[in-house]
Every structure is written in structure tokens, then in C-alpha cells.
Amino acid sequence: MTANDDLRQLVRTIPDFPRPGIQFRDITTLFGDAWGFGETVRRLAAAARDSDAQVVAGIEARGFILGGAIAAALGLGFVPVRKRGKLPYQTIGRDYELEYGQDRVEIHVDAIASGARVLLVDDLVATGGTALAAVELFRSVGVEVAAAMFVIDLPELGGAELLRQAGVPVTSLFAFAGH
């Protein structure tokens, strides 16, 4: 056993979803476990205590579940980073490239004050494209990303490394090989 293997074994792997060759790391089985969900939140919240973050931002959709719980554990507010066209008020956004096509992350213009420090949360980092777009979006309005946190890292895809190169401290609880 290595650190966090007790949580790692609660993640279900679905081969060839949503496309052939992708090993989908299904975190719903970890979230659905009464001990596993709370313990995941406790371990990430403990790692976040030193980051001096003033607010937590979660990336749609599984980042909402985790980020909301971490924010509550830390006594902080929560800001959703949503995909294109979902937020009702005025937004600012950032486009990013997917393997096939483009996507966009958005926040409300008044969601976080310039100068604030945000903790960015998602379930999994793969290529890092989504998280990096969120980092660029926050930085474009003067918000500092104190740290980025994930439950799962897919290190072969290099996303965590890209984030670190961009100056963002990255924490993940455990990794899986491959895509």
C-alpha cells in the first residue's frame, strides 16, 4: 500500500469510455462511499490549509461536488467554473483546445475580487487543458491561483507538470498510469 491507496481502490475503471482507448476513471464509486467521500475531502482540505486561499473554485461538473465540500470544510465560499453558456449573469471566459474542437470555461464577472487567492479544484487532471484555461481566466482578472487540487493525476498526460511550469502548486491524492 502507498499513501491514499485506500481511496484509490474505490475508483472504478471503465475501459473504452467515452471512446476506444480511454480508461475512464469513474470517481462516482469513491464519492458514493460514505467513508471514502468524507476522507477524500478531509485529505484535500488538510493539504489546502497552508495555501492561504480565500475562496474555492470548482470546475464543472465533478469539481463542484468536491470543491463545494472542501470549501465548507475550510469555511470558505465556493465559485463554480462553468462550461460555455450556463451562467445566468455577465461572464468572462477563456477558450481552450480539446483533442477534437474547442471548449470554454466561464465565471461570473463579479465572482471573485481582484487580488484574491483562489484554490482550484477538479476531480482529475489529464492534459491540464481545462485547469490551465481556468488559471489563465483567473489571472486575467488579477486573481491569484494559490494551488490546484485533484483527486486523480494521469501523469503520462503531463497536465500537472504543465500547471507547475505555469507557477501553480499542484496536489493530487493518487495517480493512474495511461490515458
Q: Build a one-symbol-per-residue string for 21-60: x at contacts with ligand AMP by CB under 6 A, - elsewhere.
A: -xxxx---------------------------------x-
Q: 36, 67, 93, 128: which one contacts ligand AMP (CB under 6 A)?
A: 128
**Least distance to ligand AMP, CB of residue 75, Å:** 25
Please give the order of strands across the beta sheet that includes 102-108.
Answer: 91-97, 102-108, 77-83, 55-59, 117-125, 144-153, 170-175
Residue 100 phi/psi, 5° resolution?
Answer: -125, 100
27 within 8 A of 44, measured Cβ to Cβ: no
| Interface region with ligand AMP, contact rule CB under 6 A, candidates 45-53, 111-119, 128-136, 167-175 | 128-136
C-alpha 143: how far from its chain's center? 17
Name the residue nearer to ligand AMP (CB basis): 16 or 52.
16
Least distance in angstroms from the C-beta of 148 to ligand AMP:
11
Q: How far is CA 94 from the centre of its chain?
A: 16
Residue 130 in the binding site for ligand AMP (CB under 6 A) = yes
Chain positions contacting ligand AMP, by CB under 6 A: 22-25, 59, 62, 122-131, 159
